[in-house]
Structure 1
Amino acid sequence: MKTFLNRRNAVLSGGPSHLVAVSHAAHPTAAEPAERVADETPHDSLDAEVANAARAVPTLRAVPVVPSQFNGRPVQIADGTMFEALAAGNSLDTFRVFRSFDFTVSLFFHAPSLSYYVALHQDGMLWRALKANDVDAAGAAFHHLEEQATRLTDGETRRAQLIAQNEQLQRQVEESEALAERLRANLQRHAEQEHRVTGRQHQVRKEVAQLEAQRVAAQAQLNKAHRAIHQLSMTTSEGVPHMTGR
C-alpha cells in the first residue's frame, strides 16, 4: 500500500500540468468463481484489495496548461517593462489606434517574434498590456479594450456634450436677448417718432387753423377794400358829366 501511494504522489508532484485519466479500472472477470472469493483468508483479502487498487489506478498523462483565454482565443498579460522597452526601441509596428479623451488603445505588431501587443494607456501612462500570437485574438483584445475605454469615458463624453449644449444655449440666450433689445429699441424709436409725428401734425393743424383764420380775415379785409374802392369809384364817377357822342 505504501509503495502504491508513494508512486501515486511521485506522479502527482511532477509539475503544474493537469493529470487526466485515460484508462478505466479493471474489474474481476466473470470466469473467477465466487467460491474463490469466499475462501480467501483476511490476509489474502487485504492483498487482493491492494492489488485491485493498484489495477484501478489510471494511467496519468500530462496535459499542457492552456494559456489565458480571451473571447475564446489565447491572450496573455504582457510584461509591462518589456513592452515599454520594445516601444521605446521602435520595435513595434502600429496596426490600429483608438483614442477617447485621455485613453488610448493601440494594436502593435512585433515582427521578430511574430507577436501582437494590445496596450491601454491613460493620459500617456501604460495601464494594461496584452500579448497574443495571432491577429484575430489581438483584434478581439483590441475591441475589448476599446469598449472598456469607451465605457470609462462615458462621463467625459456626456460632460463634453453638456458643455457644448450649455455654450450653445448661452449663445442662443445672448442672441435672443440682443434681438429683444433691438426690438425694444426699435419700438422705442417708433414710439418716439410717432410722438414727434403726432406733435408735428398737431402743430401743423394749429398753424393751418391760424393761417386759415388769417386768410379769412385778410379776405374779409380785401372784400371790404374792394367795396370801398367800388364805392369811391362810384362817387368819383358821379362828379364827371355824362358825355354823349354826336
Structure 2
Amino acid sequence: MKYSLSLRRAVLLAVAGASLHGAAARAQESASSAPVVGTRPAMNALTSQPDPSAQQAASGAAGAGDAQGDVSELMQMIRDSKLVELRTTYNGSYGASLFFYPQEMTYYVALFQDRHFWRVIKSQDDVRAEAIYAGFVKQTVQLADIEIHRTELQAQKAFLDRVIALSEDRAKRLQADLDVARTQQAQVNDHQRAVQGEAVTLRAEKERAQAQLRELQRQVQQLQRQTEAGLPGTR
C-alpha cells in the first residue's frame, strides 16, 4: 500500500513537472506580455495593500528579503505564469480566487478588494483550500452587501432625480400654458368689455337717431299739412 501511494505521488510529480516545463516554455515565448488571469480585474493587475503598522513592524524586524509574505509570493507567481486559476468569485468590489501551483502541488487562496490583495492562504491540502475558498466567498458576499445596497440606492435616487426633473419640466410647461391661457383670457375679457361698451354706445346712438327721425317725420307731416291747407282734397 505504501509502495502504491509513493508510486502515485511520483507519477503526479512527474506530470506536474512536465506541465510546468511546458508552461515555462510558453512563458519564455511570451515573456514580454504579462498573463491575464481572471476577468475583473486582471489578476496580474492586483497589488498588495498591507496594513501600514504591520508593514513597519515587518521591515523593522527583518530585511527586505525576509519580509516577503504570501501576498508578495502570490503576486510574483502570477506575474511569472506559474499558477493555474481554478476558481474566482466576484461580489461587488470584493473577490476570492483559488490558485494551484502544479510543481509543488500547492493551493493559494486569495481574498481581494478592488485592485488590492487582502489575504492569501496557501496549503497543500485540497480539502482545506476549498474550505478556505468557500469561506472567503461567503465573506465577499457579506462584505459586498452594503456596496450592492448602495448601488441600488444610487440607481433609485438617479431614477427619482430623472422623474423629478421630468415632472418639473412638465409642471413648467403646464404653468407656461396656463400663463398663456390666462393672458389670452384677460385679453378676451378686455375685448368683450370693449365690444360691449361700443354696443351700448351704438344702441344709445341708434335710439337717438330713431327719435330724431320720428321728430323729423312729424315735422315733415306737419309742414306738408300746412302746405296743402285750403287745397281741395284728393279722393
User: Distance between the aligned counterparts of 2:109 and 2:77, measured in 1?
Assistant: 13
The alpha-carbon deviation at position 119 of structure 1 amounts to 1.4
State the structure with bigger RCO (CA 8 A, min sep 6), 1 or 2: 2
Find out whether 1:198 has 2:212 as its counterpart: no
User: Distance between the aligned counterparts of 1:138 and 1:237, measured in 2?
Assistant: 143
Find out whether 1:121 has 2:123 as its counterpart: no
Q: Which has the higher helix share?
A: 2
User: Distance between the aligned counterparts of 2:231 and 2:215, measured in 1?
Assistant: 25
Larger Cα Rg: Structure 1 or Structure 2? 1
SS at match of 1:98: strand
User: Distance between the aligned counterparts of 1:231 and 1:112, measured in 2?
Assistant: 144
User: Distance between the aligned counterparts of 2:161 and 2:106, measured in 1?
Assistant: 52
- My pick for the range that moved more, 218-227 or 207-216, is 218-227
Question: What is the 5 A alignment of 1:143-154?
Answer: 143-154=134-145
Amino acid at match of 1:118: V
CA separation of 1:104 and 1:239: change in aligned 2, threshold 3 A: farther
Partner of 1:223: 214
Which ranges in structure 1 are unaligned for 5 or more consecutive residues? 1-77
Give CA deviations for 1:129-164 in whole Å, capped at 9, x if unaligned: 234668776554333212212222333333333333
User: Distance between the aligned counterparts of 1:86 and 1:123, measured in 2?
Assistant: 20
Counterpart of 1:210 (choices 201, 205, 229) is: 201
User: Distance between the aligned counterparts of 1:237 and 1:93, measured in 2?
Assistant: 141
Partner of 1:104: 95
Amino acid at match of 1:92: L
Question: What is the 5 A alignment of 1:48-63?
Answer: none
SS at match of 2:141: helix
Counterpart of 1:85 (choices 76, 84, 95) is: 76
Amino acid at match of 2:149: R
User: Distance between the aligned counterparts of 1:226 and 1:95, measured in 2?
Assistant: 122
Give CA deviations for 1:156-192 in whole Å, capped at 9, x if unaligned: 3333333333444444444444444444444444333
Give CA deviations for 1:17-53 in whole Å, capped at 9, x if unaligned: xxxxxxxxxxxxxxxxxxxxxxxxxxxxxxxxxxxxx
Q: Which has the higher strand share?
A: 1
Give CA deviations for 1:92-131 in whole Å, capped at 9, x if unaligned: 3334333334422223344555554331123323222234
- Counting aligned pairs with the same residue, the percent is 33
The alpha-carbon deviation at position 207 of structure 1 amounts to 1.1
- My pick for the range that moved more, 143-152 or 185-194, is 185-194
User: Distance between the aligned counterparts of 1:160 and 1:149, measured in 2?
Assistant: 16
User: Distance between the aligned counterparts of 2:134 and 2:150, measured in 1?
Assistant: 24
Amino acid at match of 1:108: F
Partner of 2:27: none
Amino acid at match of 2:205: Q
